[in-house]
Homo-oligomer: A and B are copies of this chain.
Amino acid sequence: MSEKTLVGSLIIGQSGGPSSVINCSAYGVIKTGLENPNITKVYGAFHGIKGVLNDQLMIMDEEDPAELANMLHTPSSALGSCRYKIADPDVDDTDYKRILEIFKKYNVRYFFYNGGNDSMDTCNKISKYMNRVGYECRVMGVPKTIDNDLAGTDHCPGFASAAKYIATSFMEVSRDCHVYDTGMVTVIECMGRHAGWLTAAAALANVKGDGPDLVYLPEVDFDMDQFIADVKRIYAEKKNCLVAVSEGIHYADGTFVSEAKTSGTDGFGHAQLGGLAARLTEIIKAELDGVKVRPIELSLLQRCAAHCASGTDIAESFMSGKVAVESAVAGITDKMVGFKCTRDENGYKCEPELFDLSLVANTEKKVPLEWINEAGNGVTQGFIDYCLPLIQGETGMVKEDGLPRFVQLKRVFAK
C-alpha cells in the first residue's frame, strides 16, 4: 500500500456476461470517482478492455449525474462488455504496451475492471505489468457474476438478483403447473455450467411452500436412472413434479447431460435442437407413459431481470464499486473488493473485504457438498440460511409508461 497521493484519471471497464446489477457496481465507481478530488477525469471503456485497446473511452464527466443514477436499475453492461482474454505478458506483451500507451495518453492512474473470473485475471495481469514497467497505477477488481463462483468473497454481486428472480419465477410457475387436477412434470433449466448456485436458489421458493420438488446441481454426478426414479416417486405421490436443473449437470464420466448423444427420440445420433430441459422432459414423457411435460429454460431472462433485482444486491454492488475507488485513492492496488458477511441472531451483516486478485483469478467456488442433500436431489437448510438474506429488499426501480426507465448515456468519446 502506497501512502502517496496519486492524482490522475480513472478508467472503469465491464467484462464478461452481464447481470442485473453490474451497472450498480460501475455506478459506484463512476459516482465516487467523479466526486473525488484526486481523480481528474472518469472514463468508461467502451466494451471493456477492447475500449482501452481501441482508444474508445467515454467521458463520464460529460454525462448528466441524474441520468447516471438510472444505472442502478439498468441491467446488462451500460458501458458495453467483451469476452477478450488478454495474453500472458511473458508470451505476448503487445496488448500491455498498448494499454500503457493509452494510460499515459490520458494520465490514467486508476483502473477498475468489473467482471468475473477472467476479468480478475485481466486486472491482475495489468497490475503486475504496470508494476514491472514502473508505471504507477492502482488496479482494482470490482466483482460481478450471477454464477457466484468467485473465490474468497462470501458472495458475488449479481448472484442475489438472479437468485431472487429464479425463486420468484419458481413460485409463480409452481402455482401455474399445479392448477389442473391432471398431472404434469415441469423441468426448469437454470444457468451455471460448473457451479450450481443459481439452480440451488430455486429452492428458496420452498421457504414459501411453492418450490421445486427436485433440484440437481453440477457439483454432484447426475444419474439418469436415479432422476427418472425420483420423478416417478414424486409424481406417484403428488401427481405433479417440479424440477430445477443446472445446465451443467453431467454424468459420472464428466459428459454434460445436455451434450450426450445417446438419449432422446432421435436414434441417429444427430445433435438435437432444444436444451437440456427439453431433453429431460422427453425422457420423462417416455418413461411416465406420456405424462404431460413442460420444459422451461430461464435463459437470458435470469441474468437481466432488473425489474426483480434484490435491493440488498443493488446496495452491495454499489458499495463494492465505491469501496474500490476509496481503497485505491487510499493507496491500495491489485485487490478485488469482495464481501465478508455474518448471519446470526443479530441478522445479516455485510462488510467489504479486499482479496488478492491472484487468489481470486481463475478459481471457481462451488456449492459446498454439505449444502447438498444426501440423495443429490435437493439443498439443505445451510444453503437457505446463506442465500435468503441476499435476496431481501426490492429494486426501487423508476417506471415510465408502466415500463422500466433504463439509463441513456450520451457516450461522448475522448479524442
Task: List A residues at the B interface (Cβ < 8 Å).
Answer: 18, 47, 50, 74-77, 80-83, 164, 167-169, 171-173, 175-182, 186, 204-205, 207-210, 264-266, 268, 270-275, 278-279, 282, 294, 296-301, 303-308, 310, 312, 388, 391-394, 399-406, 408
Interchain CA distance A282-B274 in the complex, whole Å: 10
List the 3 closest pairs (A to B, CB-CB), nearest first. A274-B274, A76-B175, A273-B274
A79 nearest in chain B by CB position: B179
With A273-B282, A388-B402, A402-B391 given, is the CB distance from A306 to B76 under 8 Å? no
Interchain CA distance A135-B94 in the complex, whole Å: 89
Q: Which of B82, B180, B404 is A172 in contact with, Cβ under 8 Å? A: B404
A400 nearest in chain B by CB position: B208
Q: Can you give 13 A-B contacts (C-beta < 8 A)?
A: A18-B175, A76-B172, A76-B176, A77-B179, A168-B307, A168-B403, A169-B301, A172-B304, A173-B301, A173-B304, A205-B403, A208-B403, A266-B273
Whether B169 and A305, one on each chain, are in contact in the complex, defined by CB atoms closer than 8 angstroms, is yes
Whether B83 and A175, one on each chain, are in contact in the complex, defined by CB atoms closer than 8 angstroms, is no
Whether B208 and A171, one on each chain, are in contact in the complex, defined by CB atoms closer than 8 angstroms, is no
Interchain CA distance A101-B172 in the complex, whole Å: 36
Interchain CA distance A82-B178 in the complex, whole Å: 11
Q: Which of B204, B264, B301 is A403 in contact with, Cβ under 8 Å? A: B204
Q: In the complex, which residues of chain B have a beta carbon less than 8 angstroms from the beta carbon of A169?
A: 301, 305
Q: In the complex, which residues of chain B have a beta carbon less than 8 angstroms from the beta carbon of A275?
A: 274, 278
Q: In the complex, which residues of chain B have a beta carbon less than 8 angstroms from the beta carbon of A405?
A: 208
Interchain CA distance A300-B81 in the complex, whole Å: 31
Interchain CA distance A408-B171 in the complex, whole Å: 13
Q: In the complex, which residues of chain B have a beta carbon less than 8 angstroms from the beta carbon of A406?
A: 171, 175, 208, 210
Minimum CB–CB distance from A154 to chain B (whole Å) comes to 17
